[in-house]
Structure 1
Amino acid sequence: MRIALVTAGSRGDVEPFAALARRAIDAGHDVALAVPQDPGVDLSGLPVRHLRISFHDLVGDAGVSPVAALRTFRSTIRPAMARMLEDALRTILQLRPDVVVHHPKVLTAPVAATHLGVPSVVVSAVPALSATRAFPAPGVVARDLGGPLNRLTYSALRGSSAMFAGDVRRAARRAGVSGPADPPHASLAPVSPELLSRPADWPASARLTGSWPPATGGAALPAGVQAFMDRGPFLYAGFGSMTGGDPLERARTVIVSARVVGLRILLATGWGGLALPRDLAGDGDVLAVPEVDHDVVLPRAEVAVHHGGAGTVHAALRAGTPSVVVPFAADQAFWGAAVAARGLGPAPVPSTKLSRGRLQPALERALTQRAHVAQVGARVRAEDGIAVTLEVLADAVGTAYVA
């Protein structure tokens, strides 16, 4: 198969597509991967095309606050998205693939697929593409509203896509493409059933594939990380692409709380969500690095404190490591609630309420859950959502798939 993979967003949106690209190439498929600039993901050895958008810059300009994003929508976000949508459309048309696999943000991907007469498959780490009574739209409402009201919350997500409808039409017109897009052949979520059950009212085309094993690009650990891990038990803390607030005070809360429960601290500063205070750096029990490979580090950690992105939640699950989720925005509170409901970590601690009085008991609770999470982790590691996905793509194209 000739497969076009097109994604947009931060690290958590790019990593699953990179993992799929590597496995598809290993299986003998012809693959092209289109990603944003500065994705923060190891893409070595992959056939990559870059779209004219940097979500690192967008987050830096707008932060994670919806209010801040609204302030910069017309001046920054919309022009950047318009460039990305046009780039994605033209890239797919040039590639002429047998199937298009795309992130929901890439609204021009199904337009290009329909023009070429090939199927599209949409992949989202967040189970928000199909309305359900089982839970509200992740990122729209933080608590279960019950049955019919849950389904209504998904209209908000359709409205957010409608904001870029004009940009999609303009991109199509400039590329000489017209007509409505066909619906996707399938809608896939690389989510483990150990974390979330498939809603009974989803259409047949919507599937939870199970966890996607990580890509193995061979990225080295930052200097000192291996030696730090070898010295004994530690806590991992990282908030990925989250920004805003006071990163020094946030890190201070994590470090002091971890010391009280007897753990050293590996701090991943990410895009600026954490910063090591100078007065806490001298005891030798804290190491701060920009980022690490979660699938290498988390199996060694006693507990992981993180923002609750879908990718990090699943990395902690695969590792068998309890999560203390500190949600900032979007779907993170949804994942934090799912983690707590399955006994995979304590109740989430919102970033706006992060304090030693809340985090320390959460860490103590997480440490009592390690045996249960280890058992769940073994089952998650046995899943192979990428193999399931490749079977779906083969079905879409009408070819036989051999693992």
Structure 2
Amino acid sequence: MMLLTSGTRGDVEPFVALARYAAARGHQVRLGVPENSGADLSGVDTVSLDVDFHRLMGTRGLSPWTAVHHFRSEVGPGMRRMLSAAVRETLAFAPDLVLHHPLVLTAPAVADALGVPRALAEFVPVATPTQEFSAPGGPTVSKDLGPFNRATYAVPRSGARLFRRDVERACRQLPGGRTASPPAASRATLMGISPQLLPRPADWPDRVHLTGSWHCDAGAPDPDPAVAGFVRGGPCLVATFGSMTGGDPSAGGRTVVDSARAHGLRTLLVTGWGGLTLPEDRRGEDVLVVPSAPLDALLPDAALAVHHGGAGTVHTVARAGIPSVVVPFLVDQPFWGRQLHRRGIAAAPIPRRSLKPQTLVPAVGDALARREQAQRVGRAVRQEQGLPAALDVLTGL
């Protein structure tokens, strides 16, 4: 089977877990991945999709001109390379099944050309409409439009039209030099999402499978002993904004440390792609700064997490059984922030521009009061069998 993913680390790691799980059970698996995702790819047969999402997400100018320039210079060319590589690598592997991320827009055409079944993988429910909530990442994500919620899913679908010509160009590699229009529908959609965080909407069709999250502890790196010792050395707040950048990272770090100290907590600051940094005037023995850390191994010993609300981080925090404060930046993150709050395991989300001590200090106190519920949800998430459920669906197609 050919697995094709896109996006950042939170989009790559679940595919890696599924690739390892399927290969260990005798399946021949190849995984197409973006470059420099930060995910551990050891032991997995991978090929590059010729795109680096660090570059695609690295510039977030405030002016329309900056946005247009960045699209033309980085986003457009990066997507063209990825769409072409997905076709080229899938044809070369000749799989008997294709599973793909929604952004890999050429996957339907190459699966059709090979005459093999295709399934879609979603870690954020943007491609499967429902009446129960607006499309995550859309302009109405914070509103419940009732019977009009389904209409909001036209917005993410329309984004694919921006790359229609790029899809056509990439599909010239196919036998016959073109793609069927429209391509055949996917046989199944696999939602690698915990039902503890997102209960299944009643109007999703039967071909949509809410499998639980895709996670595998086998082969996970051990944390640095000094970092693990710091987290275990007293009540600790772990803060990370992952691949997010923007705003004033120094002000964000100052706010996080001040808010932790207001509650008698130590701070592990994981700087990631630079969304958080620590100013000199906030350094101390109660603060440790690291560029990255294996959150799965560290979070169970923490008191709570402050994070950006990416799908991967949301599941990691929930699995650890600790409460959190979500500081969403963009796209699906406000959706996950509200979901965690509704499930009783996080304070109300704080938009990035509103992150100040006067908002974060009370939010940390609110989150700490939710620890028992977070522990209950964590136990349930850890019992999920997301990988076996996903593989069962794929082998039945």
Of the candidates 230, 234, 237, which is equivalent to residue 235 of structure 1? Answer: 237
Q: Normalising by structure 1, report the TM-score.
A: 0.94
SS of equivalent to 1:366: helix
For the residues of structure 2 that align with 1:353 and 1:246, how far apart are their CA atoms? 12
> For this pair of structures, how many residues does the alignment match?
393
Work out the CA distance in 2 between the residues paired with 1:68 and 1:326.
25
Q: Rate the CA distance shift 1:278–1:102 in 2: closer, same or farther, 3 A.
A: same
1:192 offset after TM fit, Å?
A: 1.2
- The equivalent of 1:134 in structure 2 is 132
* 101, 104, 113: which one aligns with 1:103: 101
Q: 2:317 maps to what in 1?
A: 316
1:275 corresponds in structure 2 to 277
- Cα displacement (A) at 1:215: 5.0
Render the CA deviation track for 1:98-145: whole Å, top value 9, x for unaligned. 111111110011111110000111111101111111000001023233
Question: Which amino acid in the other structure matches residue 391 of structure 1?
Answer: D
Q: Whole-Å Cα distance in 2 between the matches of residues 307 and 395 of structure 1?
A: 36
Instruction: Give unmatched runs, 5+ long, in structure 2.
Output: none
What does 1:1-400 correspond to in 2, within 5 Å? Answer: 3-62=1-60, 69-140=67-138, 141-175=140-174, 176-180=177-181, 181-214=183-216, 216-222=218-224, 224-281=226-283, 283-396=284-397
Measure the CA separation in 1 of the matches of 2:67 and 2:385.
36
Contact kept? 1:19, 1:214, Cα under 8 Å = yes
Shift of the 370–65 alpha-carbon distance from structure 1 to 2, 3 Å rule, reads: farther
What RMSD over aligned residues (CA atoms) do the two structures have, in Å? 1.6
Contact 1:304 1:322 in 2 (8 A): yes
Residue 144 of structure 1 aligns to a residue in which SS? Answer: coil
Q: CA deviation at 1:218?
A: 3.6
Contact 1:64 1:243 in 2 (8 A): no
Aligned with 1:266: secondary structure? strand
The Cα of 1:222 is off from its aligned counterpart by: 4.2
Question: Contact (CA 8 Å) 1:5, 1:102: kept in 2 or not?
Answer: yes
Tell me the CA shift for residue 290 of structure 1: 1.1
SS of 1:163's equivalent? helix
Q: Deviation digits for residues 207-255 of structure 1, max 9, x if unmatched?
A: 2111222353342424621221231210000001100111000000000
Change (3 A) 1:294 1:68: farther
- 1:173, distance to aligned residue in structure 2 (A): 1.4
Question: Distance between the aligned counterparts of 1:121 and 1:314, measured in 2?
Answer: 22
Q: Write the deviation string for residues 161-198 of structure 1: whole angstroms up to 9, x where unpaired.
A: 11111100111014434323211111121111111111
Q: Which moved more, 1:214-223 or 1:324-333?
A: 214-223
Q: Distance in 2 between matches of 1:134 and 1:320?
A: 26
Given the superposition, is the C-alpha separation of residues 124 and 89 from structure 1 closer, same or farther in structure 2, using an over 3 Å criterion? same
Residues 300 and 28 from structure 1, CA distance in 2 versus in 1: closer, same or farther, beyond 3 angstroms?
A: same
Amino acid at match of 1:25: A
* Greater mean deviation of Cα atoms: 40-49 or 223-232: 223-232
Q: SS where residue 130 of structure 2 aligns?
A: coil
Gaps of 5+ in 1: 397-403
Judged with a 3 Å threshold, the aligned counterparts in structure 2 of structure 1 residues 158 and 296 are, in CA distance, closer, same or farther, namely same
Give the fraction of aligned pairs with identical amino acids, expressed as a percent: 49
Residues 82 and 253 of structure 1: is their aligned pair in 2 closer, same or farther, counting only changes over 3 Å?
same
Give the alignment's TM-score, normalised by structure 2. Answer: 0.96
Q: For residue 401 of structure 1, what is the aligned residue in structure 2?
A: none
SS of match in other structure, 1:8? coil
SS of the aligned residue for 1:33 comes to: strand
**CA distance in 2 between partners of 1:67 and 1:155 (Å):** 26
Distance 1:354 1:132, change over 3 A: same
Q: Tell me the secondary structure at the aligned position of residue 52 of structure 1.
A: coil
Q: Is the 8 A contact 2:31 2:47 kept in 1?
A: yes
User: 2:131, 2:147 within 8 Å by CA — same for their partners in 1?
Assistant: yes
CA distance in 2, matches of 1:155, 1:384: 32
Q: Distance in 2 between matches of 1:302 and 1:342?
A: 18
The question of whether the paired residues in 2 share the 8 Å contact of 1:65 and 1:329 is answered with no
Q: Secondary structure at the match of 1:121?
A: strand
Provide the C-alpha distance between the structure 2 equivalents of 1:356 and 1:386, rounded to a whole number of angstroms. Answer: 40
1:277 alignment partner AA:
P
Q: Aligned pair in 2 of structure 1 residues 265, 84: CA closer, same or farther (>3 Å)?
A: same
SS of residue matched to 1:72: helix
Letter of the aligned partner of 2:93 in structure 1? Answer: L
d(CA) in 2 for partners of 1:65 and 1:301? 39
| CA drift at 1:64 | 9.9
Measure how far apart 1:69 and its partner are: 4.1
Residue identity matched to 2:11 = D
> Partners of 1:129 and 1:254 in 2: how far apart?
35
Cα distance in 2, alignment partners of residues 193 and 67 from structure 1? 41
TM-superposed CA distance for 1:68, in Å, is 5.1
Q: CA contact under 8 A between 2:97 and 2:117: conserved in structure 1?
A: yes
Query: Aligned partner of 1:344: which letter?
Result: I
Aligned mates of 1:259, 1:109 — CA distance in 2 = 49
**Superposition deviation, residue 266 in structure 1:** 0.5
**8 A Cα contact 1:128 1:138, kept in partner:** yes
